[in-house]
Amino acid sequence: MDALKFADLIKRSGDKAYNFAYRLAGNEPDARDLLQEAFAKAFEHGDSYDTLRPFDSWLLRILHNVFLDSMRRHSHSRTVSLDAPTPVEDAGWADLLPEDSPRPGDELVKRESLDILQRAMERLPPAYKASVTLRDIEDLSYEEIAAVMDIPIGTVRSRIHQGRLLLRKAYEALEKSGGMRS
Amino acid sequence: MNERKHTQGPEISAFLDGALAGKDRVRVDAHLAACPACRAESESLRQLKMTVRAAPRKRMPADLALALERRFVRSQPWWRANSRPAFWVPAGTMAAAALLAGFWMRSTGAADEVPLEPLLTAHARYSAEALVPEENLVASTYSDQLTALYANSSDAELE
């Protein structure tokens, strides 16, 4: 890929990609590593980029794959299998998430804390975290998310919903515990 | 009829995201209007969605942007980094030829009168106009050699 053109793409897509990387990684050092590796792969495989399609989506797809690779390489203490069944089907999620509690409703917004939200996001399994991030933060359509994550639309729909349920549960638990880091 | 069977969760999320169309959208809309439990769930998810959307976006740190540019643009060999047909190629070739000619003439003693200043000027002009990455210029010792030659030459003239 032409280096000068690539410099322009870094400027135009950098913020969006970094935001996605940060939400996936949950911290700045890992987000930086993810972004650098994603750009390196994009640069290396620039010839395979279809210029008729948005560069952003292509880059986010690479970034997502880099993230999944890194998750496979390193077993994080709070991370579960990437292929784990949905929480609805598997009681094992009880280890990851707290017990049922009253739904937040209006209270969620009233007691909103961005710090708690970020930590609740960190508790989500990668597939759900990516789905919710792409939909609610990056504002991608279901079709775009399917392309980035390379999954069917039906799976996107399911993961977004399950991700929101898990996020709500994790958020409540953190709030309940006074926002203390676990 | 809608009240009896609750809407499935993913449908509620898809409805909130505007990802339902036609009959599906009408059906879920009608059910939410008639079912307090599903409406409450929908409202809870809507507020959660708004909370997530309200999270501040992280911007790429400036130093990271600079590092990426250095890594993928400036580190490229100049003939790859600048793919445009170079207007400076002829000028660079001429400057290099003049430089070599100057060295040759000097080494053979063929032309002690050849002034080095125009060569330095040509070299400086080439460096300024050629858009050669700074690190590539630094890597070359020709500038130092030429400058040293010029300095020695000036010293000799003074003596």
Which amino acid belongs to residue A88? V
* Domain-terminating residue out of A73, A107, A135: A73
A39 in B contact zone (CB under 8 Å): yes
Q: Please check whether residues A43 and A116 belong to one and the same domain.
A: no
The residue in chain B having the minimum alpha-carbon distance to the alpha carbon of residue A14 is B60
User: Which string of DSSP letters, residue by residue, matches B76-123?
Assistant: S-HHHH--SPPTHHHHHHHHHHHHHHHHHHHHTTS-TT--SHHHHHHH
Contact B59 A19 (CB under 8 A): yes
* Domain-terminating residue out of A73, A108, A130: A73
pLDDT at A52: 82
Give the mean model confidence (pLDDT) for residues A133-137.
94
Q: Please check whether residues A67 and A117 belong to one and the same domain.
A: no
Q: Which two tokens stand for residue B46?
A: 């809507």
pLDDT, tens digit (0-9, with 9 covering 90-100), for A93-107? 444 444 445 455 555
Q: Please check whether residues A110 and A161 belong to one and the same domain.
A: yes
Contacts of B144 (CB under 8 A, 6+ apart): none
Q: Which residue has the tokens 């008639």?
A: B34
Residue A10 in domain: yes
List chain A residues with CB under 8 Å of B72: 3, 6-7, 10, 39-40, 43
Residue A27 in domain: yes
pLDDT at B2: 45
Which amino acid belongs to residue B109? G
pLDDT at A6: 81
Residue A78 in domain: no
CA distances to A25, A30, A119, B22, B91 from A33, rounded to whole Å, are 10, 5, 20, 44, 41
pLDDT at B4: 56
* Domain-terminating residue out of A19, A41, A73: A73
Write down the ipTM of this complex: 0.74
Which amino acid belongs to residue B135? E
pTM of the model: 0.63
3-state secondary structure A14-59: HHHHHHHHHHHHCCHHHHHHHHHHHHHHHHHCHHHCCCCCCHHHHH
What is the CATH number for A38? 1.10.1740.10
pLDDT at A149 > cutoff 80: yes
What is the C-alpha to C-alpha distance for residues B122 and B127, in angstroms, rounded to an integer?
Answer: 8
Q: How many domains does chain A have?
A: 2
pLDDT at A44 > cutoff 90: no
The residue in chain A having the minimum alpha-carbon distance to the alpha carbon of residue B49 is A136
Query: Which 48-107 residues of chain A touch chain B by CB within 8 A?
Result: 103-106
What is the domain extent for residue A51?
A: 3-73
pLDDT at B142: 57
Q: Please check whether residues A68 and A104 belong to one and the same domain.
A: no
Residue A65 in domain: yes
Residue A142 in domain: yes
Residue A139 in domain: yes
What is the C-alpha to C-alpha distance for residues A170 and A33, in angstroms, rounded to an integer?
Answer: 27
Residue A163 in domain: yes
List chain B residues with CB under 8 Å of A18: 58-61, 64
Is the four-CA dihedral B45, B51, B54, B57 of positive or negative sign?
negative
